[in-house]
Amino acid sequence: MVGRLNPNVAALTPYKPGKPVDELTRELGLTNIVKLASNENPRGPGERVRQAVHDASRELSRYPDGNGYALKQALAQHLGVDSNQITLGNGSNDVLELAARMAITADAQAVIADHAFVVYSLAVTTCGGTLVRVPAASYGADLDAMRDAVSERTAMVFLANPNNPTGTWVGEDALVRFLDALPEHVWMVLDEAYFEYVEADGYPDGIRLLERYPNLIVTRTFSKIYGLAALRVGYAVSSPYVADLLNRARQPFNVNAVALAAAEAALQDGAYVEESRRLNASGMVQVTQGLTTLGLDFIPSRGNFVTFAVPPSAAAVDVYDALLREGVIVRLIAEYGLPGHLRATVGLPEENARFLEALGRVLS
């Protein structure tokens, strides 16, 4: 006998995170594991963050500042926006969910691209909405086709720029054309989790577009280049009107005090971000050259990860398992509609080298 269920929740397929290092140790007894599975920053936190975490740990018996005043002020200054445009979240996943809850009802549709980040479908399905998946073009979002998929019932469009797991991105001209053509009743959630990694001419800064498009919501995170994935801090930047709505729906203390302090410190450490960007750029060259040497196709990526095709003679899941036995964790992405591909995060140079050597052995 079970109680009454919300069918939207019962229908969900749980999010499958990258395998944690400890789990692999438990399962295979391995140590010295390289985790390239969750697009984290492979560097440990910087000194400023460590100090902030240490200082914040003295106040653990107190609730955090539920409004995140200090972090919002710091972000507002850093981003050139007003603090009343910011909504803080327990990771950007949290604000993505808040955005869905703001607009998605049982009769609503949300438009996403094929291979889109999986949390959008979780958030929309939980709210009872229907997903409209639009076929990708060369693995990337086809904005013209997405515009054509928008209807009277569409409440929201989600687009990650660049997208995870494909690393594909849309340029400013295409994005602006899309936003210009979007009906007023449709919200656009632009997920810029990897924004700080991107070095490409014509790559748009969503926050600079907010004044022109009141239906735009931009999300970013401290989990990636800022290296704070464990602490869970992300944020949305939007019109004050939307921020007010998102703030109504969030938990009162959704970002913890240690995370607030660490994020504020991370924001001030520009050198850490710069070094992380540089390390990722050279690591991306190392990994993609290595994949090319192994004769493997990959999807050119602007994030801190790359998705590559497993040769037809092998199954992606077997290559994944064999890499695990080599102590290397990458990511299966069948649930993203890419059953013949694997995704690897760009790590430290020695981690990338271990991954490429192990992959070479596994495929030979």
Q: Please, which residue, 113 or 160, has the CB nearer to ligand PLP?
A: 160
Amino acid letter, residue 247: N
Q: Which helix (H) or strand (E) holds 181?
A: helix 172-181
Segment contacting ligand PLP by CB under 6 A, of 49-57, 78-86, 88-96, 288-296:
88-96
Instruction: Supply 204's token pair.
Output: 């748009």
Asked whether position 121 contacts ligand PLP by CB under 6 A, the answer is no
What is the DSSP pairing of strand 341-345 with strand 331-332?
A: antiparallel
Strand, coil or helix: 222: coil
Which of 142, 191, 264, 351 forms a contact with ligand PLP (CB under 6 A)?
A: 191
- Contact status, residue 329 vs residue 345, Cβ threshold 8 Å: no
Q: Please, which residue, 88 or 362, has the CB nearer to ligand PLP?
A: 88
How many Å apart are CA 182 and CA 157, to the nearest integer?
A: 9
Which of 193, 216, 279, 329 forms a contact with ligand PLP (CB under 6 A)?
A: 193
Site string for ligand PLP, 91-110 (x = CB under 6 A): xxx-----------------
Instruction: Supply 83's token pair.
Output: 């603090």
Asked whether position 125 contacts ligand PLP by CB under 6 A, the answer is no
Instruction: Supply 222's token pair.
Output: 């401290």
Instruction: Count CB atoms within 10 A of the CB of residue 66.
Output: 14
Which of 21, 53, 145, 229 forms a contact with ligand PLP (CB under 6 A)?
A: 229
Q: Please, which residue, 15 or 241, has the CB nearer to ligand PLP?
A: 15
Instruction: Supply 6's token pair.
Output: 């919300």
Q: Per this entry, what is the length of the chain?
A: 364
Asked whether position 161 contacts ligand PLP by CB under 6 A, the answer is no
Q: Please, which residue, 193 or 319, has the CB nearer to ligand PLP?
A: 193
Which of 87, 121, 154, 164 forms a contact with ligand PLP (CB under 6 A)?
A: 164
Site string for ligand PLP, 35-54 (x = CB under 6 A): ----x---------------
Asked whether position 83 contacts ligand PLP by CB under 6 A, the answer is no
Q: Please, which residue, 116 or 362, has the CB nearer to ligand PLP?
A: 116
Q: Please, which residue, 205 or 294, has the CB nearer to ligand PLP?
A: 205
Q: Which helix (H) or strand (E) holds 187?
A: strand 187-191
Alpha-carbon dihedral of residues 87, 38, 18, 146, nearest 10 degrees? 70
Asked whether position 87 contacts ligand PLP by CB under 6 A, the answer is no
Site string for ligand PLP, 301-340 (x = CB under 6 A): ----------------------------------------
How many Å apart are CA 295 and CA 147, to the nearest integer?
A: 37
For the chain, the C-alpha Rg in angstroms (whole number) is 20
How many Å apart are CA 115 and CA 305, to the nearest integer?
A: 15
- Site residues (vs ligand PLP, CB under 6 A): 39, 91-93, 117, 160, 164, 191, 193, 221, 223, 229, 234
